[in-house]
Amino acid sequence: MAEPRLYAIGDVHGEDALLESLHAAIFAHHAVAGGPAELVHVGDLIDRGPDSRAVVERVMRLQSAPPPLLNVVCLRGNHEQMLIDAFRSDEAEDMLGFWLRNGGNETLLSYERANGRQADWRACVDAHHLAWLESLPHYWESPALGWLCVHAGIDPATWPRCDEEILLWTRSEKFFDPRRWPRRKELAGLFVIHGHTPTQDFLPDQRGQRLNIDTGAVYGGPLTCAVMQAGAPLAFLEARRLNARS
């Protein structure tokens, strides 16, 4: 039997055309490679880009009816959390402004295009989309292989008892530089795949025990998928705009 395989997709940010193309490349790879595999989206499906509602609908649909032997997972990112907070918070007006200023305006427009503008903006957001976003986990892991997917990162000093806020928001240098990680048994053999912080050169960034796959899709970079399999070298699939740089 083939070794388990992981496909991990970085931050999509409403770029539905890129996600459609990347999914197609993953499905083709999976069909040839065979065996069971996990497809993990590391969060931030929404905001900034033009088609956030379409992205959410695409991933929900895929999760409900995936290709054979492919399990589909989506993690919660800080942008999903901002939408949830704006929708649910007792300080909804302040949270709404914070979300809209950070790319939520484009997401709301995508829902208004599909469902019409409403007096209460909440009525524009499909109820089943919100329920699904609220159900998303904060991380996915394969303890046997040491793989951990999370949106932003971890606190190496406290993992696996990190605050959820760290999993969604961290950009700490103590995480970014694994040479600074403490020597703890919880970190031995751990390999963290994350997004959240766009790479300046639009390339995946591996440093020791962590891999950043947010290659700035919404800023003109590719949408990247890391392909991992026990006993095989790390590989990547990507989707680019037709007019993107080579």
| pLDDT tens readout for residues 8-31 | 999 999 999 999 999 999 999 999
pLDDT of residue 37 exceeding 90: yes
Half-sphere exposure of residue 92: CA atoms within 13 angstroms, side-chain side: 7
- Nearest to 12, CA basis, from 146, 86, 110, 93: 110
Q: Give the integer Cα–Cα distance in Å for 53 and 112.
A: 10
* DSSP class per residue in 156-175: TTTTTS--HHHHHH---HHH
pLDDT of residue 91 exceeding 90: no
Strand partners, 38: 6, 71
Confidence of residue 245 (pLDDT cuts 50, 70, 90): very low
pTM summary value: 0.95
Q: What pLDDT is stored for residue 244 in this prediction?
A: 55
pLDDT of residue 141 exceeding 80: yes
Confidence of residue 242 (pLDDT cuts 50, 70, 90): confident
Convert the pLDDT of each residue in 182-239 to its tens digit. 999 999 999 999 999 999 999 999 999 999 999 999 999 999 999 999 889 999 999 9
Percent of all residues in the chain with a pLDDT value above 70, rounded to a whole number:
96
Q: Give the integer Cα–Cα distance in Å for 226 and 156.
A: 22
Q: What pLDDT is stored for residue 2 in this prediction?
A: 64
- Nearest to 195, CA basis, from 47, 29, 21: 47
Question: DSSP assignment, residue 7?
Answer: E
Tell me what the mean pLDDT of segment 161-175 comes to: 97
Convert the pLDDT of each residue in 56-73 to its tens digit. 999 999 999 999 999 999
Question: How is residue 46 written in tokens?
Answer: 């929404």
Confidence of residue 1 (pLDDT cuts 50, 70, 90): low
Three-class SS of residue 235? Answer: strand
For the chain, the helix, strand and coil percentages under 3-state DSSP, each to the nearest 5: 40, 20, 40
